Amino acid sequence: MSAPVQVICVVGARPNFMKMAPILEALKAYPRLRPTLVHTGQHYDREMSEAFFRELDLPRADLDLNVGSGTHGRQTGKILEEFERILLERPPELVVVAGDVNSTLACALASVKLHVPVAHVEAGLRSRNRLMAEEINRVLTDRISDYLFTTSRSAGDNLRSEGIEEGRIHFVGNVMIDTLRRLEPLARERSRVLEELSLAPGSYAVLTLHRPELVDSRETFLPVLGALEKVAAALKLVCPLHPRTRRRLEEFGLLERLEKAPGMVLLGPRGYLDFLRLTSAARLVLTDSGGIQEETTVLGVPCLTLRPETERPVTVAEGTNTVVGLDPGRIVSESLRVLEGKGKAGRVPELWDGRAAERIAAVLARALRA
């Protein structure tokens, strides 16, 4: 029997968990492929991290680098150093990274410097905003990866326009949607979050905010919060607060104001099943998250993106997403349009069918002759 083919799969922050879970499951169809799961520990909330592993049915990480928080340079450097050590101790045939967090770039960079091929899941997404750390991570990871797995045809077009060879690009669909489709029935069955909060389906909106460009500046954040207070007065607004957002609200002296705002419901971070239940039953979602733009498109829930641009234009062109920027007037007016029944209906994009991970595994198995 041929020797096993060692593959390292990397997770570091919550979005990675949703992307890697279906890939690890799909790799089981190829017994010669032996995945090792490495958790960099970039997402350092241990309790939340454990909850996501449990709910997504992810296997326990074989190795945990425990890098924790820090500046971009410090965190990226620490991951690079620790992951290089892993590669030297147990050299794999391939490393799989996903998304656009610091772990993605650091592990890809450590790999290629040691001549280990890299597969990048969710390649080719572009916001054209180089002020976003994620955009830098995306562009650089794509340049050095050997296998580029895209979620949309426009992502492939981005890669080609940057000179990426056709043979490296594989349009496979969206692994985030694999996870959503698998767990949506379970969220309806098991999550009691609507009952806990006394919410009826369609009677509320969901809000998530976490990006530094918005929450780290009081001058930027304050007028947006004023608009959100007006939205909450018209439709109950449920907000699971990201730790970063809560810290900034406290620093800016705005947390108590928001807690007292009519219609505003502030929560702590929620696990995947509770959050999926909340968003799937919402009338409207307001967010600065890329992944949530994709999930709402598949769920058929109108989404307003509180950013000047999106790296996921397919959610605007085909889905339920509208980019409203940070203009308070537009945030309110577009929210009211949804309440008047004028929100986008959209359709599910091509290959967002719950089988993206199977396509990825098939490509890797062929490439590795497994």
- The verdict on 235 and 205 lying in the same domain is yes
CA distance 228 to 223: 9
- The verdict on 361 and 240 lying in the same domain is no
Q: Is 72 a catalytic residue?
A: no
Residue type, 87: L
Bridge partners (DSSP) listed for residue 305? 287, 323
Q: Name the region of 275 (left: φ>0; alpha: ψ -120 to 50; beta: rest).
A: alpha
Confidence of residue 69 (pLDDT cuts 50, 70, 90): confident
Query: Has residue 161 been placed in a domain?
Result: yes
- The verdict on 312 and 361 lying in the same domain is no
- The verdict on 167 and 212 lying in the same domain is no
Query: Has residue 345 been placed in a domain?
Result: no
- The verdict on 164 and 207 lying in the same domain is no
Residues comprising the chain, all counted = 370
The per-residue pLDDT for 2 is 78
- The verdict on 53 and 153 lying in the same domain is yes
Query: Has residue 106 been placed in a domain?
Result: yes
User: Residue 215 in contact with residue 209, Cβ under 8 Å?
Assistant: yes
Query: Has residue 145 been placed in a domain?
Result: yes
DSSP state of 203: S
CATH classification of the domain holding 95: 3.40.50.2000
Instruction: Look at 56-60, 176-180, 280-284 and tell me which has the smallest mean pLDDT.
Output: 56-60
Q: What percent of the chain has pLDDT over 90?
A: 87
DSSP state of 168: G
Question: Would you call 195 helix, strand, or coil by DSSP?
Answer: helix
Domain that holds residue 91: 5-173+352-367
Query: Could you identify the residue written with the tokens 């955009």?
Result: 135
Segment 209-248, tens digit of pLDDT: 999 999 999 999 999 999 999 999 999 999 999 888 999 9
Sheet holding 321-323, edge to edge: 264-267, 236-240, 204-208, 284-287, 303-305, 321-323
Domains held by the chain: number: 2
Segment 2-14, tens digit of pLDDT: 789 999 999 998 8
User: Residue 293 in contact with residue 324, Cβ under 8 Å?
Assistant: no
- The verdict on 37 and 168 lying in the same domain is yes
Bridge partners (DSSP) listed for residue 322? 304
User: At residue 271, does pLDDT exceed 80?
Assistant: yes
Angle at 167 (CA atoms; ends 105, 156), nearest 5 degrees: 65
User: At residue 89, does pLDDT exceed 80?
Assistant: yes
The closest alpha carbon to 356, from 232, 236, 227, 180, belongs to: 180
Query: Has residue 180 been placed in a domain?
Result: no
The per-residue pLDDT for 42 is 75
User: Residue 174 in contact with residue 350, Cβ under 8 Å?
Assistant: no
User: Residue 79 in contact with residue 50, Cβ under 8 Å?
Assistant: no
- The verdict on 109 and 245 lying in the same domain is no
- The verdict on 204 and 138 lying in the same domain is no
The closest alpha carbon to 207, from 305, 290, 111, 110, belongs to: 305
The per-residue pLDDT for 199 is 98
φ, ψ (nearest 5 deg) of residue 202: 80, 0
Query: Could you identify the residue written with the tokens 């000179």?
Result: 163
CA distance 273 to 303: 19
DSSP state of 3: P
- The verdict on 268 and 363 lying in the same domain is no
- The verdict on 157 and 24 lying in the same domain is yes
Query: Has residue 344 been placed in a domain?
Result: no
Query: Has residue 347 been placed in a domain?
Result: no
Query: Has residue 244 been placed in a domain?
Result: yes
User: Residue 342 in contact with residue 348, Cβ under 8 Å?
Assistant: no
The per-residue pLDDT for 175 is 98
Confidence of residue 52 (pLDDT cuts 50, 70, 90): confident
- The verdict on 151 and 189 lying in the same domain is no
State the catalytic residue, choosing from 39, 115, 120, 210: 210
